[in-house]
Structures are given as structure tokens and as C-alpha cells.
Amino acid sequence: MCRSALSFFALIDYYQYYFLFESITLDTISLIQPDDWHAHLRDGLALQRTVPDLAKQFARAICMPNLVPPVKTVEEALAYRQRILAHVPEGLDFDPRMVLYFTDQTSPQEISKIKDSEFVDAIKLYPAGATTNSANGVSDIRKVYAVIEQLEKHQVPLLLHGEVTHQHVDIFDREKRFLDEVLAPLLKQFPQLRLVLEHITTSEAAHFVLEHDRHVAATITPQHLLFNRNDLLVGGVKPHFYCLPILKRLNHQQTLLEVATSGNPKFFLGTDSAPHAQNAKENACGCAGCYSAPNAIELYAQAFDQVGKIDRLEGFASHFGADFYGLPRNTKQITLVKQPQTIVESLDYLEDQKIIPLHAGQTLSWRKV
């Protein structure tokens, strides 16, 4: 090979090395303040913990309605929103976005009230018995098709906990079965329905979303990007990794990482952060839910950085959810620096209880400043 050809290739090598090196050494990033499109804040004293934890990072959060009793009407949602706002720390702007809880009794008229509401954005469907506080959920989706028709007509998003609940269906197959048996027929009947498949956990769900048009989106939690079922089960049962839908195999985790970091606007941030007291998790019948709120954006940064895609975090965390909901993007910025920080072992909760946060005691490589 002649000398000039050799130096040409050396130059290419240099640039490849330079760009690789650049992407590896990115150690400060600024992004538009993120939003959490799926969070559980609960009510009463729990709000003292959950609202400040979320509001320190996020500008807005969808506040899930699975209270006891659930938030079933626009009026109840607005009252709940006021209780949340009362706990926002001084100096922070936080805009709680509200969602109704779909029951067998939800009236079609409630949907036009959502449409007209400034603060209520969607309705959440839990198949009855699927997860925490879902006993009042929908018993059979075909029974509520009249309400879904209104959702499609008014373009109000339907948020789905996508798992079937039949006793005989294996817990690891419940999401896939939901896609085949509930969601595919639903979209055939209502092709213009806007929907968010919440906290997806399988490559089948990711592909389902990819294969449908822009009306179909999904949220992804930090635990499903960072962990898989080995983290939950190998070497002893780790109840703080137990959430629903349950963590799946490594190959599913990898697909979720691929789609979350792909820049595809159908996938956006939704932590599913849910506060459960330590004694309710470390229990012979432990509750489902991971509490990620205090470090959520840093957990996502860790996941994106691990696959060399930290530059894709802003779209996922700060743009795509707002775009899907037709809300303006935030304008403030936050900064993350690549500096180790250790997640606290426990947090105070209610009067004398503790919460063990997701990944407690472990070191993250990113920190919000």
C-alpha cells in the first residue's frame, strides 16, 4: 500500500478513536428538565415523602390513581391534585398531571370531562387483580368498549397495565398474553385509540409498540432497564426488586435498553416508582413495587451510559412524553455530572417506617447537581 493511502487510513483511525474517546469521556450533560409519566405518590402522610422526592427532579409527573378508594372522577382527581400540591417544597415548580382509574362503572360522559380538563390527561386501566390496589379495575375489557369508543373519539389516552390475570397463566407470560389476547383485538376494534402500554418488560411488548402507528407508545422503568430476573432471584429472593410486571430475562432487558436508547419517540420515561414500607416488602407476602423516585434520573443515566447512549437520554426523559400528551416541553434545564454517589440504605416513611429505595447502598456513576 502506498504511503498516502496508509496515512489516509491512519487519519480515519484517529477520527474513529477521537469520536469514541469523546463519547466515552462525556462527563457533564445538561438536559431539559425531565417528566415522569408514571409515578405512585399515594395519599395522606405518604405525600410528605413522595412529593418532594419526585419534585426535586421532575417538572411534571403522572400521578397514578390506584389509591384506596381509587380516583374515579375528574372531581376526585382535582381534589387529589390539591393534596399533592400542598406538599411541593418551597421554591420548586411541580405540575401533577392526573389520571382517572377505569372501573366497570366508568361512565362515557366522564371521558368528555377529561377532555375538557386542564389537569387530567388520561385514564388508567388495571385488569382487576393485576397489581397493587387493582381490585376495582376492569373485570373484562369488552364490557367497557362503550367508554373506550369515547376515548378514541376524544383522543384521550388510555394507559394500560398490560398483563392478563388468569390464575393459570405463568407470571412471566402475562404481558405477552395480554398483547395477543387483549391489546391486538382492542386495536383492531379501535384503530385510532391513543394508548400507552405502561412499564413494558418484554421484547414482545417493545415490538408490538414498534409495529403500531404513532398512537401507540410505552413507558419504561429504571428497574427494567437496569435489572433482570436473576437480580430478583439468584442467591436468594430480593424483595426490593419485586415489582409488577415482574423483571424478565436478560434478553428482554437488552431489547428494552435498545428501544429506550434508540431515539424512537414512542418510548419514554415512566418510573412506576411506588412507595412500600420495608416491612411490607420484606414479608412472607411482599408487595409489588420499587421506590426509585429520589434517584430516578440518575438511575436512567446509568442505564443509558452503560450502553454508550447517554446522549439519547434527553429525548427519552424530557421530550417524547410531553410530545405524546400534547403538552409543551419544559424550558428549565438540569445538569448531570459523572461523579459517583451512593444511594442511601433507607428513607424515612410515614410515622416510624422506612422505605428501602431501589438499588439501596449501591453506587451510581451519575449525579444530578
Instruction: Give the annotated binding-site residues.
Output: 38, 40-42, 66, 124, 161, 199, 244, 272, 276, 288
Q: Which is nearer to Zn ion, 70 or 152 (CB)?
A: 70
| 185 vs 202: CA distance, rounded Å | 19
Q: Name the binder of 309 from Zn ion, ligand DOR, none, CB < 5-8 A by kind.
A: none
> 79-82: long-range contacts at Cβ-Cβ below 8 A with a sequence spacing of 24 or more?
80/43, 81/119
What's the distance, CA 363 to chain centroid? Answer: 22
Name every residue whose Cβ is closer than 8 Å to that of residue 20 and which is 6 or more positions away in sequence. none
Closest separation in Å from C-beta 42 to Zn ion = 12
CB-neighbour burial class of residue 19 (10 A; exposed 0-12, middle 13-18, buried 19+): exposed
Q: Which is nearer to Zn ion, 36 or 110 (CB)?
A: 36
| 110 vs 364: CA distance, rounded Å | 44
**Which 239-268 residues touch ligand DOR, going by CB under 6 A?**
243-244
Per-residue x/- mask for ligand DOR, residues 44 to 83, rule CB under 6 A?
----------------------x-----------------
Q: Does 131 bind ligand DOR (CB under 6 A)?
A: yes
Name every residue whose Cβ is closer than 8 Å to that of residue 112 and which is 6 or more positions away in sequence. 150, 154
Q: Does 40 bind ligand DOR (CB under 6 A)?
A: yes
For ligand DOR (CB under 6 A), the number of binding residues is 11
Q: Name the binder of 244 from Zn ion, ligand DOR, none, CB < 5-8 A by kind.
A: ligand DOR
Q: Which residues are catalytic?
A: 272
Q: Does 272 bind Zn ion (CB under 5 A)?
A: yes
| 314 vs 310: CA distance, rounded Å | 8
What phi and psi values does residue 303 have, to the nearest 5 degrees? -65, -45
Query: How many CB atoms lie under 10 A from the CB of residue 238?
Result: 15
- Residue 312's identity, in one-letter code, is R
Closest separation in Å from C-beta 48 to ligand DOR = 18
Q: Name the binder of 132 from Zn ion, ligand DOR, none, CB < 5-8 A by kind.
A: ligand DOR
Among 127, 289, 294, 357, binds ligand DOR (CB under 6 A): 289
**Interface positions with ligand DOR (CB under 6 A):** 40, 66, 131-132, 161, 243-244, 272, 274, 288-289
**Interface positions with Zn ion (CB under 5 A):** 272
